[in-house]
Amino acid sequence: MPEAKAVPNQITYNAAISACEKGGQWQLALNLLSLMPEAKVVPDEITYNAAISACEKGGRWQQALNLLSLMPEAKAVPNEITYNAAISACEKGGQWQQALNLLSLMPEAKAVPNQITYNADISACERGGQWQLALNLLSLMPEARVVPDKITYNAAISACEKGGRWQQALNLLS
């Protein structure tokens, strides 16, 4: 682009970072994000969402949380997509405490937890052997007006199985 004298702009960077995310290239996504200030291009929510998703796909939960923490300073407002990607990154990294913490921060950020949010959090609890927390999250879903799906129940049942709680697992089936 520079040879053709064409500021890469925000849209260009967002598309490139998103392409890196889809290709599992988290390092390249973060590199592109770091080049934006030098190019005088301001990252937005879409930029950060794509970069955090790239970290999630690469199993880089620390980087995902770091990017989330940088968003307010960049005047980028995290939304449900942002939190879902960060929670999924924590889930994949076995960081159930971090995943639950992010869920608790969502209301303050005016981000509404959805099915993806709860599924990622329940899966994080399942990975961490926290069957009681998984069941607690499942019980909170109706109040939050979120409908559990197969993924939700599979994660909760698996959490019960790992905790040796076969009665609770069977109760979820009926």
* Tens-digit pLDDT profile for residues 94-107: 999 999 999 999 99
Express each pLDDT in 119-160 by its tens digit: 999 999 999 999 999 999 999 999 999 999 999 999 999 999
C-beta neighbour count of 155 within 10 angstroms: 25
Segment 151-174 mean pLDDT: 92
User: Average pLDDT, whole number, for the chain?
Assistant: 94
Q: What percent of the chain has pLDDT over 90?
A: 94
Predicted confidence (pLDDT) at residue 1 exceeds the cutoff of 90:
no
Q: What percent of the chain has pLDDT over 70?
A: 98
Alpha carbon distance 127, 137 (integer Å): 14
Alpha-carbon dihedral angle through residues 153, 83, 101, 140, given to the nearest 10 degrees:
-40
Predicted confidence (pLDDT) at residue 174 exceeds the cutoff of 80:
no
Express each pLDDT in 15-24 by its tens digit: 999 999 999 9
C-alpha distances in Å from residue 58, one per residue of 114, 156, 174 = 23, 25, 37
CA-wise closest residue to 61 among 90, 103, 24: 90
According to the 3-state scheme, what is the secondary structure of 111-133?
A: CCCCHHHHHHHHHHHHHCCCHHH
